[in-house]
Structure 1
C-alpha cells in the first residue's frame, strides 16, 4: 500500500464517543439506538436489492476504470498515475468477483478477476508472492498486508469452488507472510519485505497491527482447512502480540504500529485493525473454545462502534474517510453477530449509511464519495473506494440472504 494512502488523517473523536464513555445507562441507550432522519429529508425507497446495487457498482467500475485486463488506479486520472492500479485496490475487485459469484452472478466475473491477479504474481525462487504492481512494470515491493488480503480472497475462492489451486496458492503466499514475523519488539510482523529485518530507523521500520492481525486471521482460516498445527501456533502467538503490544486498554481498540528504532507507538486507530482483531478472536474462540478470545472480540466491537461513529445532521455515520477500512469492520460485525445481539445495531447503522450514500453521496458518473454522509467528495476517484461498495452491498445481501439465483 503506498505511503499517501497510509498517511490519511483519521476523523476527529466524535460527540458519540464522548457520550459513550459515560457510565450513565440512559446515555448508553442513546448510543445503541439506531440513527434517525433528524433534519434530513427521507430517503426514497429504492427498487434495487443490495445484491443489485453491488452489481451496478461493479458495472460502473467496468465502464470507468477498466484498463485492458486490469484497472486504472483512479478515474479521472490523477497526477503520477501509472498505467494500472496497485495490488491493493485490485484486491477490492477480487472481493467483488467472489461476492458476486456467491450471490449467483455469472462465474465469468469471478474468473476474470482472478485471472487478472496473475499479473501481480512474482514467481521468484524464494518465497514467491504478489508484488505491489504488475510484474510487467518491473520488480516492486512485497507487502505483508497486501499479500494477506490476497490470501483472504484465495481462501474464499477455494470455499466457493473447491478448486485446489486456490488453497495451494494461499498456502504458498502465507509462507511469505509468516516470514515477516520475528522476535524483535517481542514479535509481530513488519509492514513490507524491503524494509524489515535489517532496519534500525525510519518511519517505515515498524511492526504493525494490520500485518499482524491479518496474519493471525488467515492462519486461523488455514488451520480450519488443513489442521496443520503450525498455523494455529503462529496465529495464537501473533494475535497475542498485537493484543499485548498495541491494544489501548481504555477502549480495546488497536494502535497502528510500533517503531523498531524509537520504540514509539503510533497511536492512530483504524477501523480495519479493529475488524481484523475481532475476526481473528472469533476464529480462535471457535477453534480453541477459550472464552477470552470471544470476550476480546465483543469488547473491541463495543469500542469500535463508540469510537468510529459520530452524529452528522441528526444521524449516526461511521467515520467519513477510508470506506474500505470501514467495510472490513462491517465484515467483522457480521461475523460477530451470531455471538452478540448488540452487533445487529452496529450493522443496521452501516446499512443506513449505505442507503444514504446511494441516494446522496454519488456523482453523475455513479461514483461514491469517500464521505458517505455526502458532505465531502474526498478521494472519490480512487478505485478502492468504489470497490468497497461492492463488498459492502454484497455482504449485506448475503447477511439478509438475498440471492440472485441458484448456481
Structure 2
C-alpha cells in the first residue's frame, strides 16, 4: 500500500512538473491587475506626474525621468487603454523642450528644470505615436511622429561614417539604441506618407548600423565611441528587437525577401542569446522591444519558436517575481520602467491569447 501511495505521489509530482506553466496564466487578468498597481504606487495624482520608483528617489528627484514614460506609453497603446494613454501623453507633454535646433522631449520636466535630450527617448515616443496613428488615423499622432523625426535628424552627421548620436549635449557615442528606433520611425513615416525621403533615411541608417554595430553572433553591439571608433560590445535584447523589426518593415516597404531572411536570422540569434534559459537575460522593457520584433515577424512567418521561448521566460517571471504589492521584479528596486515593460508584454500576450494564438 505504501508503495502504491509513493508511486502515486511520484506520478503526481511528475505530472505537475511537466505541465506548461502557460496554462495557468490569464494574461489579461495579469495585465489589468498590474495596470491598477502601477497607478496606485507610481502615479502622483495631486502633482500630475509619475514617480520613478516605489520608494523616494535617492537623489531627491520628486518625479520620473522621461524614459519610463516611454515604456508606459507603448504599454497603454498595446493594452488599448485610452484613458491611461491620454494620461501618459499629458504627463509627457510637460517634458517638451521647444529650443533649437528643433523641438524635442527633455529627459526631465521643463517646469522642474528640464534636462538633456536623448534621441532614443524621443524615438520611442515617436514609434508609439505612429503605431497609434496607424490604428486610429488621428493626424495629431502623425504630427508627433514628424516632430520627433525632425529632432532626431539633428543628431545625424558623417563622423564615423554616419549614424545618429545617442545624446544631444554629449556627442560621445552612436548607439544601436538610437539608430535602430530611428530606422523604425522613418519606416513608419514612409508607410504613412509614402514619401521616399523617409525610406532613404531608413536605408542610410540601416546600412550604417549593420556595418558598424552588428556582432558576429547575429545580434548587435551597444555603441561605437566618437571619436576613436572603439566598439562598446554590450549586447541588449532591445537592440536586436529594433533591428529585427526594421528588417520586417523593410521587407514590407520594398518586397525584397533578403530583408525577411535577415529578420529570421536576427530572431534566431536573439532567441539563442537572450532566451536560452528559464529567465529573461535582460530587463523587462528591453525584452518588450524584442517581443515587438517577434510579433511583427509572425505576420510573414508562421514559426512560433521565438514566441514559445519568450513565453516560458515571461511565465517564469509571473510565477516567481511578483512582489507582495503586485508589482514585478521583486529582487530589484521596483521601478516604473520595469513595470511598463512588463505591462506591454502582458498586453501583447493577452491579445495573442484572445486571438487563440497560444496553445
TM over 0.5: yes
Match of 2:263 among 289, 293, 297: 297
Aligned-residue offset at 1:56: 1.2
What does residue 89 of structure 1 align with? 68
Q: State the Cα deviation string for residues 246-294 of structure 1 (Å, max 9, x = none).
A: 112x321111111122211111111000000001111111111122211
CA-to-aligned-CA distance 1:29-60 (integer Å, 9 cap, x gap): xxxxxxx99969975964x7322321211110
Distance in 1 between residues matched to 2:67 and 2:186, nearest whole Å:
20
More helix by share: 2
Distance 2:204 2:85 in 1: 34
1: distance between equivalents of 2:196 and 2:23?
Answer: 50
Q: Secondary structure at the match of 1:76?
A: coil
Matched, 1:269 2:222: no
Aligned-residue Cα RMSD (Å) equals 2.2
Corresponding residue for residue 201 of structure 2: 234
Report the TM-score, using the length of structure 1 for normalisation.
0.79
Aligned partner of 2:226 in structure 1 is: 260
SS across alignment from 1:189: coil
Q: Whose Rg is larger?
A: 2
Q: Which has the higher contact order (CA 8 A, sep 6+)?
A: 1
Find the aligned partners of 1:260 and 1:274 in 2 and give their Cα distance.
22
Pairs within 5 Å for 1:363-402:
363-369=323-329, 377-379=331-333, 381-401=334-354
Matches within 5 A, 1:2-41: none
Aligned mate of 1:53, from 30, 34, 48: 30
Aligned partner of 1:77 among 40, 50, 56: 56
Unaligned runs of 5+ in 2: 1-13
- Which of 117, 125, 129 does residue 150 from structure 1 map onto? 125
> In 1, are the aligned partners of 2:248 and 2:259 still within 8 Å (CA)?
yes
Q: Is the 8 A contact 1:100 1:110 kept in 2?
A: no
| Residue 66 (str. 1) matches residue 43 (str. 2) | yes
Determine if the alignment matches structure 1 residue 98 to structure 2 residue 77. yes
Cα distance, 1:298–1:350 mapped onto 2, change above 3 Å: same
Secondary structure at the aligned position of 1:257 is classed as strand
> Which string of whole-angstrom CA distances, capped at 9 and with x for unpartnered residues, describes residues 75-132 of structure 1?
122411411101000111112321222xxx5x32222221222111112353101110
1:356 Cα deviation (Å)? Answer: 2.6
Work out whether residues 174 and 225 of structure 2, in 8 Å CA contact, stay in contact via their aligned partners in 1: yes
Counterpart in 2 of 1:325?
A: 286
